Copies of this chain bind each other. A is one copy, B any other.
Amino acid sequence: MATSVQQQLHPYYPKTLELPGFAEATMTQSFILATFGSFSVILVFAVWAFAGTFGRVSKLDKSLMCWFAFCGFTHIVLEGYFAFDANFYTYSVPNFLAEVWKEYSKADSRYVGRDSAVVCVEGLTAVLVGPGCLLAVYAIGAKTTYRHTLQLVISVAQLYGDLVYFITVILDGEEISSPEPVYFWFYFIFMNGIWIVMPLCIGIHSWLAISKAFESKKKKK
């Protein structure tokens, strides 16, 4: 009987997951998604507008600056918060960042469960990749000689982290997602899939740009 009461205390899967001190969500799913979405849109518009201050920047480069600004914000603020606050699921006082992860954990209970692979990847992303992304915004705008190198390094790190994220789920073979399709397909597959597709495209783009630079150097000789 005690177990069955325990099992009702949180909305995560597997239902046997023990989360002492779990406090229910204080914000709705639509509020969380709308706030995150609005902030991201405002950030992207601001970077697009501000990109011009560096001088002439192509539309592709402006888009890349927006992407890296969005990544930097997500990695440092959102993922950084998760990596360094293990007790987020126990807060009953409204706290937007804690609510984001209470909500996301419905798609992947390894977040509330503090799975070491997830915490490790999120920590590396927040501490190393996030600041790298902010530097990339500057590096692209200022047309530095290291912009493609940095883009490539960030993309490989994002791709590696995301592969670890997906592969460990398959290897563990445990149920981690709530049965509603929005959690598995939108949160887990789509939201994380973005960080497979985008780094692949940007990585290839920078790979080709670097090869071109070496070709040009060869010809010069």
Contacts and interface: CB of A to CB of B under 8 A. Distances in A.
Interface of A: 116-117, 119-121, 123-124, 145-146, 148-149, 152-153, 156-157, 160-161, 163-164, 167-168, 171-172, 203, 207, 210-218, 220
Given A167-B123, A167-B124, A217-B216, A207 B160 contact: no
B146 A207 contact: yes
A157 B152 CA distance: 11
A210 B139 CA distance: 14
Nearest to A163: B124
A121 B164 CA distance: 7
Contacts of A207: 146, 149, 153
Contact of A116 (B153, B171, B215, B217): B171
What 6 A-B pairs come out closest when comparing CB atoms?
A145-B214, A116-B171, A117-B117, A213-B213, A156-B156, A120-B167
14 contacts: A116-B117, A116-B167, A116-B168, A120-B164, A124-B160, A145-B211, A145-B212, A145-B215, A146-B207, A148-B210, A148-B214, A156-B156, A156-B160, A220-B220
Contacts of A171: 116, 119-120
Q: Which of A146, A203, A210 has the most CB of B within 10 A?
A: A210
Given A121-B164, A124-B160, A152-B152, 16 more contacts: A116-B167, A117-B120, A117-B164, A120-B168, A123-B167, A124-B167, A145-B215, A149-B207, A153-B156, A156-B157, A157-B160, A213-B214, A213-B216, A213-B217, A216-B217, A216-B220
A150 to B, nearest CB: 9
A105 to B, nearest CB: 17
Contacts of A153: 152, 156, 203, 207
A157 B199 CA distance: 14
Contacts of A120: 117, 163-164, 167-168, 171
